[in-house]
Amino acid sequence: MIGNMIGGQFSAGIPPRLFDYLVVAGGAGGGWNIGGGGGAGGFRTNTNGDTLNLSTSTNYTVTIGAGGAGAASAVAAGSGANSVFNTITSAGGGRGATGDAISATAGGSGGGGTYVQSGADIGGAGNTPSTIPSQGNSGGNGNFAPGYSSAGGGGAGAVGQNGQYAASGNGGNGSQNDINGTLTYYAGGGGGGGPSSGSFVGGSGGLGGGGAGAGNSVLSVAGTVNTGGGGGGGNDQSNTYRPGANGGSGIVILRYPDTYTITIGAGLTGSTASPSGGFKVSTITAGTGNVSWA
């Protein structure tokens, strides 16, 4: 029996051993026409205080959330999909706003806002559904003025930057985690699409796979696969519209004592690294299915 895991430690008659997990949801797509950056997927790890109970010979569900689609016209961008490990659910990122048409939404991190004819569009709220500890941050607010501009999507580690006069906001940075032995950023927000005047430069993506917004003759950039990064927003440069980009898919990473052997079931794409320091690390990058230990 693996035993009860309380605050990330095994009990039930065996020496306490750390069991770590990282669950990152899919990032959202960026909006169209000075579009807001996509919000990053929710970021959860037991080192932030979540708890679980695990046993051997028991199936535990894993789902890797897909990234949301970027908006290629005056329609809503796609929000990211949830990622799941057992009872831990990370919420997909909230979509970026489409200029003067469709607002940003909430998510693990919220999407970036843009302009509307009645004023600036507020970014989507982060950390939805609400959990303690937080999964992410809100997207920035758009700017309504000559030189309309969009905002960056929120990241796991920082809010998205607001749009300013003739300058679009950067995506919020993600959070770092070293569960796989390398300190790595995950869940960065997408940058806002370039403004309607000035340099037309889009906002940069946040650290952790956030994609940059479209800019001066430059297409928006998709969120990086398996980081939960938000996609960059599209822009309107001299009536040449560039679409928002897709969000990046999520990931689940599990670290456990090397005395146990994991089975990664059908429907999942994953791998397990060679034991190191008394632990194994399994990384699951796509699909829905079950894992179990023996």
Paired sense of beta strands 88-90 and 115-116, if any:
unpaired
Instruction: Kindly state the tokens that stand for 212.
Output: 């940059």
- The full set of domain ranges for the chain reads 23-45+56-81+92-251
Question: Residue range 247-262: average pLDDT?
Answer: 93
Using the predicted structure, report yes or no on whether residue 50 has a pLDDT greater than 70.
Answer: no
Question: Residue range 122-133: average pLDDT?
Answer: 74
Residue pair 67/222 in contact by the 8 Å Cβ criterion: yes
Over the stretch 166-221, which tens digit does the pLDDT of each residue have? 889 999 999 999 999 999 999 999 999 988 777 788 999 999 999 999 988 889 99
Over the stretch 137-164, which tens digit does the pLDDT of each residue have? 999 999 887 778 899 999 999 999 999 8
Confidence of residue 129 (pLDDT cuts 50, 70, 90): low
Question: Residue range 12-33: average pLDDT?
Answer: 75
Using the predicted structure, report yes or no on whether residue 132 has a pLDDT greater than 70.
Answer: no
How much is the mean pLDDT over the chain?
A: 88
Q: In one letter, which amino acid is 286?
A: A
User: Which residues are bridge partners to 6 per DSSP?
Assistant: 9
pLDDT at 197: 75
